[in-house]
Chains A and B, each alone.
Chain A
């Protein structure tokens, strides 16, 4: 690897300054006792390097919760929004990077979504290594490491970061800087050790290598009814998901005849999502909708995209108020290996 460097953690402020030359830097920050969120940062101290999963994934930068598709004036003249604000996403973990790749595939599939494509061009992505907790199952989904989808990737090797410079965009930004030093052998070994050892740290995992067949085979398994009956249809699981991309198109009209066409995140868990004219609803109950979501995530709509759309980040598991998004638990049950303890089971209080 010619393009691998090391960055001493002491030099991180200088590295951050260089990132800021590209655009506003968004990084995980601590927002409460237990939660982290991507926010604009100026200084190193603001960054929560230990953050594992932010409340919302970085999809909010690629595909904002609300955005204008186009505006029109009273005579019907149309103007397109400007989406060329340069920004840096710092601290995206492999699951987040995999999620961004899923979004890339969906929004660039012909006909491409011009807003997404344009916005994406102006984003620099800095990945960062992480140590899994009990909710992470990216290893089971095959997204525990990524070979592309980032401009730079930082692997934490004690008092240094091992830095992979992956794109010309990143190489140009870090041209002629003395804090990135060509990685020598001991650092390369430390890097290899990190990824070697990390594999053993996953406690939340399933074994099957044929998820689509499992989902097809167990389409009528009792687990769907059981979980669906508890579902509140709140949509949390979809909003926090790095790959959930469904949206609603809305009209924001003014009194003078001008207005905007916009879009907002939508959720397949909402009652009206699959409703059509004449009040027919193809997924009327929470059981139908929850099953649909699980199928989309794990079966992956193989026909449309040929990849599963779950990246194993564990956000849905953590944020589900009804405690039914234990994806690994569900897969294990579908496999007929019911002996696993629910991830929601509380530790005994002494």
Chain B
């Protein structure tokens, strides 16, 4: 039997575009049934814009209904072209790739979700997964930090999360503009300050996603709070070009982040060179 060409994407229809902030849009896609399988929290897709190129983007929803949601930051050639597209246009998607967050291991436990900036995108898919099955998880804390309060993503969702009494939400920004519309209690401070406010202990499992510079500080807080390295799960930022463990761009120490990751338990990263500087603070 002939091996299928793994680089060929599936045609996806761009259904809706939500402008969440100046440089962060939420894109909703649909694909033919059976082409792209169920995307688990923490997994990613390769987005291909014909004539421009391809880039890896994390799925940001618990896509049970066939709708694929990607939260994209305009940062390079491909994302720039994506921001110029219109509803009804088509592009290519392939995936999902990677292992994602260990949702089965997380069940039955208290959970703390830590997001920095655009890191909220994969964390949101995990959050939705948990909220869809709320009874299977213990206490839930979200700590979400950003540079400026105008960078807040999923504003309306965050507002409604504040009114839930089965979770604790801490949102912080290094710079805060008042008044907020709709009102969001973004506090002045970094994500680490949010962690210090949150009441968690060693019974929690932590899922972290954010810019690499954030990790050493977040890890220190989580460890000081009593969470052990095997219960801290980090999503690592790498540029997955092929996403199938061939091209070598996403190598982290001994493994491909696109296949074995991008989510790793901290204990597996301890002896890997490159991430140690980032991780072992």
Contact = CB atoms under 8 A, between A and B. Distances in A.
Interface of A: 69-70, 72, 76, 78, 80, 106-107, 109, 111-115, 117-118, 216, 219, 245-251, 253, 257, 259, 261, 263, 266, 268, 273-278, 280, 282-283, 288, 291-292, 295-296, 299, 301-304
Pick the most buried of A114, A117, A250: most chain B CB atoms within 10 A of its CB.
Answer: A114
Interface residues of B, number: 42
Given A248-B241, A251-B53, A304-B255, 12 more contacts: A70-B8, A76-B50, A80-B5, A246-B248, A247-B248, A248-B247, A263-B247, A268-B251, A277-B55, A282-B238, A292-B274, A296-B251
B256 to A, nearest CB: 6
B55 to A, nearest CB: 8
B4 interface: yes
Contacts of B8: 69-70, 78, 80
B249 interface: yes
A76 B11 CA distance: 8
Cβ-closest 8 pairs across A and B: A246-B248, A303-B254, A253-B51, A114-B3, A69-B7, A251-B53, A112-B3, A114-B5
Contact of B50 (A248, A259, A288, A301): A259
B135 to A, nearest CB: 36
B211 interface: yes
Contacts of B11: 76
Contacts of B249: 246, 248, 266, 273-274
B83 interface: no
A346 to B, nearest CB: 34
Interface in B223-281: 237-239, 241-242, 244-249, 251, 253-256, 260, 271, 273-274
A250 B78 CA distance: 12
A277 B247 contact: no
25 contacts: A69-B5, A76-B90, A114-B4, A114-B5, A245-B248, A246-B248, A246-B249, A247-B247, A248-B247, A249-B54, A249-B247, A253-B52, A257-B51, A259-B51, A261-B7, A266-B247, A274-B238, A280-B211, A280-B212, A282-B274, A299-B254, A301-B254, A303-B255, A303-B260, A304-B245
B145 to A, nearest CB: 16
